[in-house]
């Protein structure tokens, strides 16, 4: 397997393995030969497992964003590698994102870092970190699916993609249901008494849902409808 590293931002001045000026590498055209930083060959042992993992050392040291291109001469695959001295830690809560930028070695806050917030591919805010290295924005999107936070200084860059499930403000997504019956085992023909408790989560607190009407359906096995009550009221 052969690999190439085109540089997306700063051009590396570090001496890597001898670089090829050819437009074709391993019989596959390079994605961007004008920004080629390094090429190398990685021997991958053939195993019987369908999915395999292997650590591969990337011969780059300068800070920046790199595109890694791998090919066996027939197939190609790509991934992104970020070399950064800046750490970016994010925390999400309903309706907000908090970011903390710091130096990876000293843990000191990164001041004056431009921080960009994106939700569902749209920029929702931009902040500059102060002495505490913090930046925070409010998110009005009720169902955030794709969240990214980027921080940039004059010589460094970092990115984070926080988990966004609990960041949404849509009450339907935070609905929690607990159901229980009057006893664990029943005989054929017995009547089953059950109760359902519905609550919406807001941070660490629970509250009764604003919508009091819910459809209740119970399916048996195999996929046989046992009960369809239409609408029932939550209390």
Any idea where the domains of the chain sit in the sequence? 2-83, 86-167, 171-233
Cα distance between residue 9 and residue 99, in whole Å: 23
pLDDT for the residue numbered 230: 60
Spatial CB neighbours of 49, under 8 Å, sequence gap ≥ 6: none
Among 24-38, 95-109, 147-161, 187-201, the range scoring the smallest mean pLDDT is: 24-38
List 140's β-bridge partners, or say none: none
Considering only 16-25, 84-93, 101-110, which range has the smallest mean pLDDT?
Answer: 16-25
Nearest by Cα to 102 from 160, 23, 24, 53: 160
In the three-class reduction of DSSP (H, G, I as helix; E, B as strand; rest coil), residue 34 is classed as: helix
Phi (first) and psi of residue 204, to 5 degrees: -100, 10
Identify the band that residue 77 occupies on the pLDDT scale cut at 50, 70 and 90. confident
Write out the CATH class of domain 86-167: mainly beta
Q: How would you classify residue 166: left for phi > 0, otherwise alpha for psi between -120 and 50, otherwise beta? A: alpha
Reading phi first (left if > 0) and then psi (alpha if -120 to 50, else beta), residue 201 is in beta
| Higher-confidence position of 14 and 26 | 26
Q: What DSSP state is assigned to residue 173?
A: G
Q: What is the spatial distance between Cα 169 and Cα 165, in angstroms, rounded to a whole number?
A: 10
């Amino acid at each position: 397997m052969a690999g190439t590293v085109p540089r997306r931002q700063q051009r590396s001045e570090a001496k890597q393995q001898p670089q090829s000026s050819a437009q074709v590498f391993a019989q596959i055209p390079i994605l961007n030969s004008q920004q080629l930083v390094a090429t190398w060959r990685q021997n991958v042992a053939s195993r019987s497992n369908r999915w395999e993992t292997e650590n591969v050392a990337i011969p780059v040291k300068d800070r920046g964003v790199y595109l890694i291109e791998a090919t066996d001469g027939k197939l190609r695959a790509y991934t992104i590698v970020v070399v950064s001295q800046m750490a970016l830690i994010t925390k999400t809560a309903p309706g907000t994102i908090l970011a903390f930028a710091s130096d990876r070695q000293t843990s000191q806050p990164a001041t004056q870092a431009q921080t960009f917030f994106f939700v569902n591919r749209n920029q929702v805010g931009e902040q500059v970190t102060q002495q505490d290295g913090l930046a925070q924005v409010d998110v009005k999107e009720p169902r955030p699916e794709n969240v990214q936070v980027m921080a940039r200084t004059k010589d460094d860059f970092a990115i984070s993609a926080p988990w966004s499930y609990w960041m949404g403000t849509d009450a339907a997504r935070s609905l929690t249901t607990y159901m229980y019956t009057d006893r664990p085992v029943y005989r054929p023909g017995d009547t089953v008494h059950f109760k359902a408790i519905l609550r919406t989560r807001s941070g660490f607190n629970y509250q009764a849902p604003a919508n009091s009407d819910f459809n209740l359906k119970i399916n048996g096995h195999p996929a046989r409808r046992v009960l369809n009550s239409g609408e029932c009221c939550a209390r």
